[in-house]
Amino acid sequence: MICRSHKSILSVESMQERVLVMDNGTGYTKMGYAGNLTPSFDIPTLISDMPTNSPAALINSNRKTNATLDFFIGEEASQLFQTHRVVNPISGGIVRDWDLMERFWHRCIFDYMRCDPEQTVMVLTEPPLNPPENREQMAEIMFETFNVKGLHIGVQAVLALISSSGLGNKLSLTGTVLDSGDGVTHVIPISDGYVIGSCIKHIPLAGSNITQMIGDVLQERR
């Protein structure tokens, strides 16, 4: 089962099934079960799989996902910069390394959330300008590798609008969302739950740039 529209989200929530929501951003990944007010985990979108002095680490990042399960993600990976190769599989909101992304999802599903994907409906987020082939790759991994029970891929801005609108008595699916993450900023107009793609504004500046600028200013003042 693949759901793509906002109406499908509402129907998924009405189903008496376990729904796992995973928001993979450039800087952080948030995951938790539908219906909870806050995510169960909020971890850096990082993966580390081999020491930097390993010959394999000097080759490239295009490895098979079943090569080894001896890897670290999140906070564990962020503490290994000096001894291991630490990689972010997402850049500018877009997945760049699908082998690493699959391994990252594997650890999230089985080690962090400890759920059975065959009995779980997955809700994944995507940026507003996500290429269609990336969406297809996400679905292929979720169904063929993890054999999930169902899948919905929703634009982050639409899901945010639904979440904020759902707090009142009337659900409104029309508005403008300013989405500024770690790697990219989007201004997304939404009408009746559908993104107006031709009007999206994309700015390649976001949280990491502000963090870097503040760090540079503090260094200059020393």
Tens-digit pLDDT profile for residues 77-130: 888 888 888 999 998 888 999 999 999 999 999 999 999 999 999 999 998 888
The domains of the chain are located at 2-158
- pTM (2 d.p.): 0.77
Interatomic CA distance for residues 34 and 222, integer angstroms: 47
Q: Are 137 and 143 in contact (CB under 8 A)?
A: no
DSSP secondary structure letters along 32-94: EETT-SS-SEEEES-EEEEETTSGGGGT-S---TTS----EEHHHHHTTTTTEEEE-SEETTE
| Residue 53 confidence (pLDDT) | 58
| Residue 180 confidence (pLDDT) | 87
| Residue 103 confidence (pLDDT) | 94
pLDDT at 169 over 60: no
Interatomic CA distance for residues 31 and 36, integer angstroms: 10
Show the DSSP H helices in the chain as ranges. Answer: 6-14, 74-78, 98-107, 132-140, 156-165, 207-221
Q: What is the mean pLDDT of residues 40-54?
A: 82
Q: Which class would CATH give 2-158?
A: alpha beta
For the segment 51-79, what is each residue's pLDDT rounded down to a tens digit? 655 554 444 444 443 344 578 999 998 88
pLDDT at 178 over 70: yes
For the segment 181-197, what is each residue's pLDDT rounded down to a tens digit? 887 888 999 998 889 98
